[in-house]
Amino acid sequence: MTMTKIEAIIQTSKLEEVKSALQQIGVEGMTVVEVRGHGRQKGHAEFYRGREYTVDLIPKIKLETVLPENMVDLTIQTIIETAATGQIGDGKIFLSKVADAIRIRNQDRGVNAL
Amino acid sequence: MPTKNSNLLYAAHKKLTAKVFMNKGWLKLCLLLLLLSPAFAHAATDVDTRLQALETATKSAQSAGDNAWMLTCAALVLLMTGPGLALFYGGLVRKKNVLGTMMQSFAMMAVITVLWGLISFSFSFAPGNSLIGGLQNAFLHGVGAAPDPDYSSTIPSQTFMIYQLMFAIITPALISGAFAERMKFSAMTVFMILWSIVVYSPMAHMVWGKGGLLNAALGGSFPTLDFAGGTVVHITSGVSALVCALYLGKRVGYPKEPMPPHSVVLSFIGACLLWVGWFGFNAGSALAASSLATSAFVATHFAAATAAIGWAGAEWVRHGKPSTLGAISGSVAGLVAITPAAGFVTPMSALVIGLMAGVVCYLMVAFVKARFGYDDSLDAFGVHGAGGTLGALLTGVFASSAVNPIFKDGQGNALPSGLLEGNAHQLLNQCVGIGIAWAIAIVGTLVILKIVDVTVGLRVSEEHEVQGLDVSQHGEDGYYWEATA
C-alpha cells in the first residue's frame, strides 16, 4: 500500500481539538510544529514607542502525519470538521506521496513502520 | 598702754562677738551654708552635664535616623542600575543583544566604583575651583566617619560619598541606550571612564560641589536649582546619548527592518524597579530623614503617575490603544522631569510636571526622532535629554520657598524661588545651568568619542552586529533553551 503525508496548517487555537479527534479515529503518529505564515489572511499592526510594525506572518500550527492510503480520506475529513471556523485563516492541507518509511527501533519498512 | 577708747572698742567687740556666737540661729545658718556649698556647686554642674548628655543623645538619634535613611537610599539608587536599568534596556533590544546591553549597565557598577574611590569623588566634591574639585579626597583621603558640614552635618562623609557614587554609576549607564546593539564593549568601557572624569565630575562639582559655579545651596554665581540631578545626570547623559547616536550612525537595517523589543516583560520589571529606586534618588537628595525628604518622595511619586497617564493617553489618542511600553516609558519620563524639581515643588505642581513630561517625551520619541532620522535606539535623548531639560526649566517655574527656602536674604528670611512665586530671574539661572550641561556634554562627548574611535574603535563590525553582541562581545547566549536534553 502506498503512503501519503498529510501536512495540515491550522489555527493555533484548534490544535487540541484536531489532535483529540485524530487520535480517536486511530491516527497513531504525528509531528506538530509551531510556524508563522499567511495565505490571504491580513496581518495586524503593533506599535512600540510610536513606531508601527506590520506583523503579517501569523502564528499557526503545522501538523504532519504519514498514513496508509486507506486512512487518508477519513483523516482529511476529520481535520476539516474540527479545524474549520468558516473564516479566512483556517489554514490548508497538503498531500504528498512518501517514498518509504523506516522504524528506527527495529528497521520495519513500509506501512508496517507507520 | 590701753587707752579708754581702746578699752571701749574691746568691750564692744567682745559684746558683738558674744552676741553673734550667742545667737544660735545665725550660727546654724552659717554652718549649714558652709557645709552645703560643695553640694550647690555639684548641683550646678549636674544639670549642665545632663543637658550636655541630652544634646549629644539627640544629635546621635538624628544622625542615626539620617544615616540609616541615606544608606538605604544608596542601596535603592544602585538597584536602579542593577537590575532596574539593565532590565529596562535589556527588554527593549533584540534577543541577540540582551546580555550585551545588560553588561553595559553592570560594567558601570564595577568600573565607576573603582574610579570614584580612586579619584572622581575628589574631582566632584573636594574643594577646588568653580568648575572642578581638587585632589584632597583622592583615594578617599579624609572621607570617613566624621560628617562634612558643607554637605551634611549629620551623616558620615563616607555615607555621602557612597550615596553619590550610585549616581555616578547610573549616569553613564543611561547613555548606553543610545548606542545599543552596536558599540564595542572595550570601547564603551574606555569611553565611560573618560566621560565620568571629563563630563560627570565637573558637572556634579558645579551644581553640588563646594564652590561650584551653579551651586544654589552653597552660593554659586549662577545658582541652578537641581535637587537630585536633572542637569547633572539626565541632561548630560541624554545629550551625550544624542551625540553618540549621531557619531556612531544607525544600526544595520534601521529604520526599514522592524526591531521591536524582545521582551516588554523585562522592561516592565525594570521600569517598576526604577520607579521605586527613584525614591532613593530624589528623596535621598535631601541628605537627611527629614520632612524635605518626604516632600521630595511625594513629588517624585506624583510626577511618575501623571506622566504614565500622559504618555499612555497620547498613545490612546494616536493609535487607539494605550500600550504597556508607553505607560512605563511615560513613568520614567516623569521621574526624569521631577528629578531637578523634587525637593522644591508642591505635590500639585508635581502632577503638572509629570503630565507635561509624559506628553512631551512621547512626542519627542514618536515624532521628532522619526522626523530627524537619528537612531537613538532606546530613546536616551528623547526621555533623559528632553525630559531633563524640560524638568530643569519647570523647576524654575514651580519652585516654591514654602517647600524649600533655598534662597534667603541677609536676615535669613526666605526669598521667592521660582517664577510662579515671583522670581522670574531664576529661569535665567536655570537656562545657564541647562546650557552648561548641554555644552559640556556635547564638547566632552565629541572629544572622547574621537579619541576612543581612533585608538580602540567604537563600533562593532557589521558581521558582529548581525551576529549579536551577546555572542560577538561576550561569547554567550542570553537564552540557551537547549534543543538537546
What is the predicted pLDDT for the residue at B21? Answer: 54
Which residues does chain A have within 8 Å of residue B376's beta carbon, measured at their own beta carbons? Answer: none
Round to whole Å and give the CA distance between B176 and B416. 39
Task: Write down the ipTM of this complex.
Answer: 0.84
What is the predicted pLDDT for the residue at B16? Answer: 56
As given in the structure block, the three cell numbers for residue B374 are 537619528
Residues B211-230 have a mean pLDDT of 94
**pLDDT tens string A68-99:** 999 999 999 999 999 999 988 999 999 999 99
As given in the structure block, the three cell numbers for residue B148 are 562634612
Residues whose CB is less than 8 angstroms from the CB of residue B386 and which lie 6 or more positions away in sequence, other chains included: B238, B360, B361, B364
Task: Please name the member of B260, B365, B366 whose beta carbon is closest to the beta carbon of A46.
Answer: B260
What is the predicted pLDDT for the residue at B71? Answer: 98
Which residues does chain A have within 8 Å of residue B323's beta carbon, measured at their own beta carbons? Answer: 47-48
Which residues does chain A have within 8 Å of residue B369's beta carbon, measured at their own beta carbons? Answer: 50
3-state secondary structure of B441: helix
The full DSSP string for B327-361 is HHHHHHHHHHHHTTTTTTS-HHHHHHHHHHHHHHH
pTM of the model: 0.88
Contact predicate B339/B279, CB 8 Å: no
Task: Please name the member of A49, A50, A53 whose beta carbon is closest to the beta carbon of B258.
Answer: A53
Residues whose CB is less than 8 angstroms from the CB of residue B277 and which lie 6 or more positions away in sequence, other chains included: B76, B77, B79, B80, B84
What mean pLDDT is reported for chain A? Answer: 94
Which of B41-55, B169-183, B421-435 comes out lowest in average pLDDT? B41-55
Residues B314-326 have a mean pLDDT of 95
pLDDT tier for residue B27 given thresholds of 50, 70 and 90: confident
pLDDT tier for residue B38 given thresholds of 50, 70 and 90: low
Which residues does chain B have within 8 Å of residue A48's beta carbon, measured at their own beta carbons? Answer: 260-261, 264, 323, 325
As given in the structure block, the three cell numbers for residue B190 are 574606555
Residues B102-108 have a mean pLDDT of 98
User: What is the nearest CA distance from B60 to chain A, expressed in angstroms?
Assistant: 50
Which residues does chain B have within 8 Å of residue A53's beta carbon, measured at their own beta carbons? Answer: 258, 260
Round to whole Å and give the CA distance between B260 and B181. 13
> What CATH number does domain B69-474 carry, 1.10.490.10, 3.40.50.2300, 3.40.50.720, 1.10.3430.10?
1.10.3430.10
Q: Cell 522626523, residue?
A: B371
pLDDT tier for residue B73 given thresholds of 50, 70 and 90: very high
- The answer to whether the Cβ–Cβ distance between B323 and A51 falls below 8 Å is no
Task: Please name the member of B323, B329, B367 whose beta carbon is closest to the beta carbon of A47.
Answer: B323
The full DSSP string for B282-337 is HGGGGSSSSHHHHHHHHHHHHHHHHHHHHHHHHHHHHHSS--HHHHHHHHHHHHHH
Which residues does chain A have within 8 Å of residue B315's beta carbon, measured at their own beta carbons? Answer: 47, 50
What is the predicted pLDDT for the residue at B2? Answer: 52
Which residues does chain A have within 8 Å of residue B319's beta carbon, measured at their own beta carbons? Answer: 47, 52
What mean pLDDT is reported for chain B? Answer: 93
pLDDT tier for residue B482 given thresholds of 50, 70 and 90: confident
- The answer to whether the Cβ–Cβ distance between B366 and A49 falls below 8 Å is yes
Round to whole Å and give the CA distance between B329 and B383. 8
Residues B392-415 have a mean pLDDT of 94
Query: In the 8-state DSSP scheme, what is residue B259?
Result: -
User: What is the nearest CA distance from B91 to chain A, expressed in angstroms?
Assistant: 12
User: What is the nearest CA distance from B105 to chain A, expressed in angstroms?
Assistant: 22
Round to whole Å and give the CA distance between B268 and B323. 11
Task: Please name the member of A48, A50, A52 whose beta carbon is closest to the beta carbon of B261.
Answer: A48
**pLDDT tens string B424-447:** 999 999 999 999 999 999 999 999
**pLDDT tens string B127-142:** 999 999 999 999 999 9
Which residues does chain A have within 8 Å of residue B264's beta carbon, measured at their own beta carbons? Answer: 48
User: What is the nearest CA distance from B431 to chain A, expressed in angstroms?
Assistant: 29
- The answer to whether the Cβ–Cβ distance between A51 and B370 falls below 8 Å is yes
Nearest CA among B389, B275, B377 for reference residue B332: B275
- The answer to whether the Cβ–Cβ distance between A49 and B326 falls below 8 Å is yes
- For residue A105, the enclosing domain spans 3-113
Q: Does B127 touch chain A (CB under 8 A)?
A: no
Query: Does residue B20 surpass a pLDDT of 60?
Result: no
Tally the domains of chain A. Answer: 1
What is the predicted pLDDT for the residue at B219? Answer: 84
User: What is the nearest CA distance from A40 to chain B, expressed in angstroms?
Assistant: 22
Kindly identify which residue of chain A lies nearest to residue B321, measuring between CA atoms: A47
Query: What pairing do the DSSP bridges indicate for beta strands A3-10 and A31-37?
Result: unpaired
Query: Does residue B39 surpass a pLDDT of 90?
Result: no
Query: Does residue B15 surpass a pLDDT of 90?
Result: no
Which residues does chain A have within 8 Å of residue B362's beta carbon, measured at their own beta carbons? Answer: 50
Round to whole Å and give the CA distance between B398 and B417. 8
User: Where residue A9 sits, what CATH number does that domain have?
Assistant: 3.30.70.120
Q: Does B39 touch chain A (CB under 8 A)?
A: no
- The answer to whether the Cβ–Cβ distance between B379 and A49 falls below 8 Å is yes
For B465, other C-beta atoms within 10 Å of its C-beta total 19
Q: Where are the domains of chain B?
A: 69-474
Residues B437-459 have a mean pLDDT of 97
